Structure formats: C-alpha cells, structure tokens
A = this chain, B = another copy of it.
Amino acid sequence: MNNSNDNVNFIVGDSTSIGSTSDTARLISNDEASTSNYTQFNKTSNYEHSDSDDLHGSHGIRRRHPVQKIEPGSMNMLSAKYESLDYDTCENHLLLDEERKRGYPFIVKKDMARWFIILLIGAITALIAFIIDICIEEFSNIKYKELKKSVDKYVLMDRLYIPYLLWVLSNICVVFIGSILVAYVEPVASGSGIPQVKCYLNGVKVPRVVRIKTLVVKAIGVISAVVGGLAGGKEGPMIHCGSVVAAGISQGKSTTFNKDFNIFQYFRDDHEKREFVSAGAAAGVSAAFGAPIGGVLFSLEEGASFWNQALTWRTFFGTVIATFTLNFALSAYHGHPGELSFPGLLNLGKMEPFPFQFYELPIFMLFGAIGGILGALWNYINYRLAVFRIRYISTPWLRVVEACMVAAASATCGFLMMFLLNDCRPLGEDPTKVPLQLYCADGEYSVMAAIWFQTPEASVRSFLHDPLGSYKPMSILVFVVCYFLLSTWTFGLAVSSGIFIPNLLTGAAWGRLLALGMQAIVPSMTINSAKYALIGAAAQLGGVVRMTISLTVIIIETTGQISNALPIIITLVVAKWVGDFFSEGIYDIHIQLAAIPLLPWEPPPLAHNVYASEVMSHPVFTLRTVENVGHIVELLRLVSYNGFPVVDPPLTDDAEVTTYKRLRGLILRSQLIVLLQNKLYNENANTSWPNLNVDMKIFRKEYPRFPSIAELEISEWEKTCTIDLRPYMNPSPYTLPHRASLPRLFRLFRALGLRHLPIVNDVNEVVGMVTRKDIARYRVWRHCGHMGMEELVLSNEI
C-alpha cells in the first residue's frame, strides 16, 4: 500500500475558483484524457457532448450573464461563507454497529424521547412567550401612564415639549438597551428572525442562529423594541425563540453555557436537530398567534422539503401544547385560571362572523390588489434602506445610533399627530387604557393619543373593533402614511422586532379608511368596519410577506372565526399575485441581500440544457481509502471544503494512473477532524480497519462545533501513519453523472437535503463536486411578466 507523503492523488488542475463558470468542453476533455483506456466510452461520450454543446450555444433562452462587479447590496451574489446542514445519514460501519447492538427497543425509546422533547419544546416556548408578553404589557403600562400624567400636567401649562422630550428620551433609552445587545452581543438576533429560521430549515447553517445567547438577546431585544415604541411586533421573534428552544432542548447541551447534560445524545446530528427546530418554529408561531394549525403549516411551508406524516403529527402536538400552555399561563395571570381565553400573544379581540354578499367579492379583490401594491412598495423602500444600511451604516455603533433615531422619530410622529390632529371622542364609549384629554373638551379624549399611547397590538384591536365613525378620515390617512413609512424604516434596524403587527396595523387603518370612503359613496350601505379593517390588514400583510396557506390559516386562527375564511383567502390570493408581479416577499429580499444560498421550491424552468459538468466545482480533492495522515492534515489546511470523495488508491506509483479516482465513498471534514483528534490511525500501514471499539459517540461528543484543523497538534511522526477511512466514510453517497441536467441535480438536492454531491463520469470516477451553493447560483427571475434565468456570483468577500 502506498504510504508516501506526496500529493499523488490530488488532481493538479488550474486554480479555477469554486463556482466560476467552467468551460464544459475543456473539463470533459480533461476527464476523457484520464480515462483514455476506455475507447468505447470516449466514442459515445464525444458524440453526446458535441450535441450538448450545440444545444448550449443556440438554446434561444434568455439568460442573464453573471455580474462581474460585486457591489454591496447587490442581489446577484451568493456568499461562499454559508455552509449547509448534513441532512443525509452517513451509513458507515459505526452506524450499522450501533443499530445491531441496540435493536428495536432503542427505536421505541427514541420515539418516546421525541414526543417528550416536543412536549418540553411546546411548554417552554409558551413560557418564554408568556414572559415576553407580560414584560411588554407591564412596562408599556408604566411608560404610558407616566407619560399621560406628564401630558395632563403640562398641557394646561402649554409646555407640551416636556412630555414630548420625556417620550423621546424614554423611547431612546429603552431601545438603546436592546440595540446595544443586538449590535454588539449577537447581531443574528436582529429583525424578526424569520428569514434566518427559514434559511436554517432550508438547510443553511446560519452561524449562531440557534444558540441560547441569541435567545436571550432576542427576548430582551423584542421587549425593548416594543416598549421603546418602535413600529415592530413580538410575533416574528417568538418564532425564532421557539427554534432556539427546540435546538437547545433536543441536544441536551448548551454551547453558550458550556454545559452538557449527557441526555438525548442520539439526537445530535443535523438531521434530527433540524426536525426539532422545525417543530420549535411551529410552536413559536402557535404561541405567537394562538394558531396551532398555522404553526404546523408555517414550518412545512418554510422548512419541509419532504412531507413526513409522523413529523407533522408530532409538530402538531407541540403547537397544541404551546397554545395550551400559553393560554393557561396568560389566563391565570389575568386572574381567570381555567377560562382559557388568551390563546396567543396576538390577540385581535373577538371577531364576529361577518356575512358577505356576492357583490363584495370584487371589493375583496380590490383590497387584495391594493395590499399587493402597497406591500411591494413597502418592500421596495425597505430594500433601498437595507442597501443604504449595508453601504453606509456598517459599524455597530452607527447601527445603535440609527435605532435610537428611529425611536425618537416614532415618538415625534406620534406627538405631532396628537398635537395637530384634533380628533376627539366621548369618554367611556370605547374605553382605552390611557385616555388622554389633551385639547379635547371635558368628557372626551383624543383619539390619536389613544392610538399612540398603547402597544401597536392594542391599536390593531382599536382599528378592528371601534365603531365606524370613531376616527376622522384625515386622521386615519395621516396615520397610514406615517406608520407605513415608520414600519418600513424599522425593519432591518439593529433591534429584534417583527413586521406582522406593524403591517396589520397599517392595513387595518387603510381598510377602515376605505370603508369610510365606501360609506361616503353609498350612504345607504351598512358597512361593517371590522370586516374591512380585517381584510385590509390581511391584504397589507400578505402583500409584504407573501406567505401562502400558512398566513391564511394564521389569520383565520387568530381571529377565531373560520366562517370568515373565504374573504380572507380571496384577498390573500390576489395580494400575492399582485405583489409577486412587482417584487419578491420581504423575507426573500433580505435573504438575497444576505447572499444566503437558499434553495427555492422548484428548479429554474428551461434549465435542462445546463449540465452537471458546468455546475460542479473542480478540480476535486480526493482521499484514498487508506490514507496517509500527513496528507489529510495538509489537505484540510490547504482547502476549505467540507466533504471529500474517498477513492480507490492507485495501483502503482506510476504517474499515468495517479488520476485514478474511482469513487468509494464520501467523508466529511468534521469526521476527519474527529479521527485526527482521537488519533485513530495505525502505525503499520498494512493493518487496516484499525479500531472496532470506536463508536458513534466520539462524533457526537464534538457536535455541532468541531475543532478546526489548526487547533489540532499532529506530530511529524504521526504524519507518517495511515488511517483506514472505510469504517467512517459514507460508503454509498448519492451521485449523478456529469451529463445530468441542473433540474435533476436540483431535485436530488432539494428532496434529500444534500450537502455534497459527487459528480462521476461514465466509469464512476469523480470528476467534480456539487454543493448547495453551486445549485443555488442558478436562479429564476420574474419581473412584471418577464422571466428568465440568471447566474449569481459566488463570492468570498461578503
């Protein structure tokens, strides 16, 4: 067996960087040279490739060419820094060994442990939601009560600038705390967390997204954002919190606290962890909206590639537990234990079923269209702001300053509206918690002050349930414009807050405005303002987030009225259609800005003429079945790849056969690291299959963060040893031939959640590797009725 330390089985190729468009013809001829003993193969292969070149040259399909210049904020890039999750099981000898030892009783035990963990995830997520909710409610109460005292005191003295300054100051102080945490301690906790969770569920390893530290920052951040008066909601962050809880509990250890409870070790791999995280996200949705079914659908819509009945059923159990626990806790807190009247954080109040007539269907569609247009506009403004932030607001302290600025601006907006719009209503008719007289007559209170002196969630309730004539049209119009701009400015700040509530609020407001308009046009009509406010809210939210069935169910469950489903569905369908005509959903925009290689649902259309040989990265770095330690160390130090094909060793040292690389298996960087770390190698090169006492535990111990190669100390003597990789490698990885098309690659990747896919030639020799990034580079674009395919740039710089 060849035991020398040289690089003989590296393919010495050109230094083409990964992901740059490769020249098919050149590559194929290279491969053919290496297999020149197969004349027959060459003959037919040439035949086909000449044809594919022909197709490729004249396909007549509009295809954008890759952008060469990388600009910050460009949507045409993918970052090379994101790794994928290993969803595929490595069926190596150790796994077989473990299965044999444990047998079916272990399967049953594992299954019961899964149900138990889901129960814990549901309950703990709900308790966190409970704590966040109570904190927000209590702190907001204190804040607005103090402000009211101040206003009541100074309004008579005509020194309203004092409560104004007080308001601005309190906003800034509270937001400052959350913003500092987010900007300096854990930037991944910013925003709603839904894009990050979506990426994780899609299979992208977003760094630090499911750590306990992130959870703590997120929880404090969302309290500070809402109490600080920003136009943000607490629902999106709940989804993120649920995911972190799931990841933490299912792994039975915490990296943040460096504590290992030594439980649930058998769930320590990416596959199991991802399933729990998807259940956690569902529990988060469920707690946020009181929507157990919507939660399941959310995690399916965002996370599932493969619908699995057992997983869905368990997830459903988790969401029910979450809703139930939260309901119980909130009911008990509000003094009605056992009544169970607080199913979720988002409480829109009791909606009545609203009957509707046929002539209203076009009205619902119109609302949907308006929502789609306004949503696309919201997304566009937010996108421009995000690009601006990437370019100019790049340091943490600038981000903190911006957050504080927005907090001040929110207070200013509110104050100006209260001050300038004199919209009064008699007291007692519709009690608000902090009624402010301001300039109103005695026995009246300022409507605008009531809207601003409460949490956005309470304002949504007001717009839904207050009688039709409660607000002057002008007040609503100004409010819509202000809040629309404020909310789009807020999303993307260095604070933790979501966009559900602000968009529902904006939508409810313009829905009510349109209802007033209709009333003015057809005075004989009896207008149900709650109906139109709700439809407007749904339209606006649907136009921004573009979620499909899960959003529909969430809204239905939140309002607690299934009989209102049809109007809501029609509105959401139209909103999505119209919105998609102009732009993508806000989450997708942010994912693209972050250059995350998310895989969409379907392969790009008309891409059957893009072949694996174009998509794959090459040259490929391989290891032999029995490999020299020095060589492995060198390879790991040299390249940053995470998976290496294991190939048959060459027969001799003869130079001609050094490229002999018939695929035998696939080994991951993390596995190699563990092997080196545990010194599982043999001095004597002829003893293979060295250590049968090794089991899966050594791989699980380090999961999920394995040391880097630089952290390992390998002596010169050790470098002369060998490792037999066969017991550890995945002996039968999925592969595809180099002539496979992009849609075929895509489907295999998407359906099985792959991370690496070796591309082989006709005699099963590795000629390249495809990773998620190589596939995600090919993206379909649609814009105003046109469509095409574009190739994104893969960059290490972002």
Contacts and interface: CB of A to CB of B under 8 A. Distances in A.
Interface of A: 39-41, 44, 47-48, 51, 55, 58-62, 89, 91, 93, 95-96, 99-101, 103-104, 107-108, 292-293, 296, 300-301, 304-310, 312-313, 316-317, 320, 323-324, 338-340, 355-358, 548-549, 552-553, 556-557, 560-563, 565-566, 569-570, 573, 576, 601-602, 605-606, 608-609, 612, 625, 648-649, 651, 662-664, 688, 726, 731-732, 734-737, 739-741, 743-744, 747-748, 750-752, 760, 762-764, 785-788
Nearest to A788: B104
A625 B48 CA distance: 12
A32 B466 CA distance: 81
B739 A787 contact: no
A762 B292 contact: no
Contacts of A648: 40-41, 44
Contacts of A549: 293, 296, 312-313, 316
Contacts of A320: 565-566, 569-570
B562 A316 contact: no
A573 B100 CA distance: 32
A301 B293 contact: no
A417 to B, nearest CB: 36
Contact of A100 (B55, B91, B576, B747): B55
Contacts of A96: 55, 608-609
A61 B307 contact: no
Contacts of A301: 307, 309, 312
A700 to B, nearest CB: 17
A750 B355 CA distance: 44
Given A563-B560, A569-B316, A731-B48, A602 B308 contact: yes
A93 B41 contact: no
30 contacts: A48-B726, A60-B100, A60-B101, A95-B608, A96-B609, A99-B608, A104-B606, A108-B787, A293-B552, A301-B307, A304-B307, A305-B307, A305-B751, A306-B306, A306-B307, A309-B601, A310-B601, A313-B549, A317-B573, A339-B355, A340-B355, A340-B356, A340-B566, A662-B762, A662-B763, A732-B740, A732-B741, A734-B744, A747-B752, A751-B752
Contacts of A743: 89, 91
Contacts of A734: 734, 736, 744, 748
Contacts of A100: 55, 58-61, 609
Contact of A764 (B609, B764, B788): B764
Given A96-B609, A357-B338, A549-B313, A60 B739 contact: no
B358 A338 contact: yes
B739 A732 contact: yes
Contacts of A556: 293, 562
Nearest to A562: B562
B51 A565 contact: no
